Copies of this chain bind each other. A is one copy, B any other.
Amino acid sequence: MENEVAELAGTALFTVNNVWMMLATALVFIMHLGFASLEAGLTQSKNTVNILFKNSIIPGIGLITYALVGFNLMYPGGEGGGFFGFAGFFISTDAAGLTSAYSEGYTYWTDFLFQGMFAATAATIVSGAVAERIKLSSFLVFSTIFVGIAYPITGMWKWGGGFLDALGFYDFAGSTLVHSVGGWGALTGVIFLGPRLGKYVGSKIHPIPGHSMPLAAIGVFLLWLGWFGFNGGSVLSADPGLVSLVLVTTSLAASTGAVGAMLASWGYTKKPDLSMVLNGILAGLVGITAGADVMSPLDAMVIGLISGVIVVFAVIFFDKIKIDDPVGALSVHLVCGIFGTLAVGIWGDLAGLDQLWNQFIGVASVGAFTLIFTGVLWGILKATMGLRVSSEEETDGLDLGEHGMEAYPDFEKNS
């Protein structure tokens, strides 16, 4: 009888852990709608169908490729400490994965789905930066390879027990492994593509405003919501103290991120800029992601605030050097991803010079790999399929050119 009771209690705990992880998965899933809304809102209405198309197909392509190769590249098992491993094609259907023998925190299926939803976000980050001029077919090929191969390889270096994990690099939920990876892929993409027509003329910068601020705001709120799962699920169990701390640090960083960006934009441009506040929320979220479980609430507020200020000046900086990123993805995901990763060496439980060095190594090695991998990939795509739509199509909009349909056929447009 006693053993039965112990088993019952163990089942209850395993079940609640798994419930939390499944819900975290659902929350990460809804980030894809967040990215779709944000990206559509911050770009022109003539490219909206194209953006929604990319973002609607990415979760599907991401999950399929992750099932096929990604998951087994990222978690190859074995000794650990390495640079590369592969556990074979397709996810397993071994029944042992359904019990706490697999993990105290979740089943094999939950594990796969949670990680797969994560993986697909990396491609979505790229999508925003290359928007309004990239060929759909080339982007789809890039995304498939990026999610299926590049992301899992560097992911393995830390989360799959690879060399960065052995080194002591820390990245709780992916400031580096997800956000900066997406950011580096976006950076190489933007460089290969070049800016949108008319954005930089001589030394002048012509802002191209997004077509729907409500869509952008919906996107950011959904992303904040999704981060409850992104960071909260990265505890990998429902541990009450740890998960609830993570939700507090995450939300406080988002809060000060918003305030930091408001103050920076209000001070610098004299107008409180909504798109900056929205990106400030995201900046705070990305900034806290690497250390959400090792920061105090006050640390989190400091990191969020700095991230919110950084993002404003990063957006201005990228425009100055004519790196055209329609949605600010580089400023949010790459710059604040790097800052958040380094922050683990500066604030919180792990702070210290050694840790800061390890964080730097992680940032640099993941960055170098992703830069080279995606640079080569974009280069091959450019040489073969071509990366950019024709200037005529760009002017008319990708919705008509790529899809033959309009996002808002009922409404008159300003010309």
Name the B residues within 8 Å of A224 (CB-CB). Answer: 29
Asked whether A63 is an interface residue with its Cβ less than 8 Å from the other chain, the reply is: yes
Closest chain-B Cβ to A158's Cβ sits at a distance in Å of 24
Please indicate which of the listed interface residues A55, A60, A106, A257 has the most CB atoms of chain B within 10 Å of its own CB: A60
Name the B residues within 8 Å of A217 (CB-CB). Answer: 33, 36, 40, 52, 55-56
Q: Roughly how many angstroms separate A248 CA and B106 CA in the complex, as a whole number?
A: 13
**Looking at the complex, which of A73-81, A266-274, A371-379 is the stretch in contact with chain B?**
A266-274
Closest chain-B Cβ to A272's Cβ sits at a distance in Å of 6
Chain A 26-57, CB-CB to B under 8 Å as 1, else 0, gives 11011011001100100011101100110111
Name the B residues within 8 Å of A351 (CB-CB). Answer: none
Could you tell me if B6 and A8 are in contact, using CB atoms closer than 8 angstroms?
yes
Q: Roughly how many angstroms separate A27 CA and B252 CA in the complex, as a whole number?
A: 17
Asked whether A251 is an interface residue with its Cβ less than 8 Å from the other chain, the reply is: yes
Name the B residues within 8 Å of A402 (CB-CB). Answer: 271-272
Could you tell me if A271 and B225 are in contact, using CB atoms closer than 8 angstroms?
no
Could you tell me if B214 and A57 are in contact, using CB atoms closer than 8 angstroms?
no
Could you tell me if B107 and A241 are in contact, using CB atoms closer than 8 angstroms?
yes
Chain A 1-44, CB-CB to B under 8 Å as 1, else 0, gives 11011101111111111111011011101101100110010001
Q: Which partner residue on chain B sits nearest A136 by CB separation?
A: B272
Asked whether A294 is an interface residue with its Cβ less than 8 Å from the other chain, the reply is: no
**Looking at the complex, which of A178-186, A295-303, A321-329 is the stretch in contact with chain B?**
A295-303
Asked whether A405 is an interface residue with its Cβ less than 8 Å from the other chain, the reply is: yes
**Looking at the complex, which of A165-173, A187-195, A205-213, A360-368 is the stretch in contact with chain B?**
A205-213
Closest chain-B Cβ to A324's Cβ sits at a distance in Å of 18
Asked whether A277 is an interface residue with its Cβ less than 8 Å from the other chain, the reply is: yes
Asked whether A204 is an interface residue with its Cβ less than 8 Å from the other chain, the reply is: no
Could you tell me if B258 and A57 are in contact, using CB atoms closer than 8 angstroms?
yes
Name the B residues within 8 Å of A13 (CB-CB). Answer: 8, 11-12, 15
Name the B residues within 8 Å of A26 (CB-CB). Answer: 27, 225, 228
**Looking at the complex, which of A121-129, A336-344, A380-388, A406-414 is the stretch in contact with chain B?**
A406-414
Q: Roughly how many angstroms separate A273 CA and B67 CA in the complex, as a whole number?
A: 25
Q: Which partner residue on chain B sits nearest A65 by CB separation?
A: B255
Q: Roughly how many angstroms separate A91 CA and B299 CA in the complex, as a whole number?
A: 13
Could you tell me if A259 and B228 are in contact, using CB atoms closer than 8 angstroms?
no
Which of B18, B91, B296 is A93 in contact with, Cβ under 8 Å?
B296
Name the B residues within 8 Å of A290 (CB-CB). Answer: none
Q: Roughly how many angstroms separate A239 CA and B22 CA in the complex, as a whole number?
A: 12
Asked whether A98 is an interface residue with its Cβ less than 8 Å from the other chain, the reply is: yes
Could you tell me if B410 and A113 are in contact, using CB atoms closer than 8 angstroms?
no
Could you tell me if B107 and A214 are in contact, using CB atoms closer than 8 angstroms?
no
Please indicate which of the listed interface residues A1, A2, A18 has the most CB atoms of chain B within 10 Å of its own CB: A18
Could you tell me if B211 and A410 are in contact, using CB atoms closer than 8 angstroms?
yes
Could you tell me if A241 and B49 are in contact, using CB atoms closer than 8 angstroms?
no
Q: Roughly how many angstroms separate A268 CA and B298 CA in the complex, as a whole number?
A: 55
Closest chain-B Cβ to A306's Cβ sits at a distance in Å of 15
7 tightest A-B CB contacts, nearest first: A98-B241, A60-B255, A109-B244, A33-B221, A12-B12, A9-B9, A60-B258
18 A-B residue pairings within 8 Å (CB atoms):
A1-B6, A4-B6, A9-B9, A29-B251, A45-B410, A52-B217, A52-B274, A56-B221, A56-B278, A57-B262, A64-B301, A107-B240, A107-B245, A109-B248, A136-B272, A210-B409, A213-B408, A410-B414
Known: A52-B213, A109-B247. 10 other contacts (CB 8 A): A9-B12, A29-B251, A57-B258, A57-B277, A59-B258, A60-B254, A60-B259, A63-B255, A98-B241, A214-B407
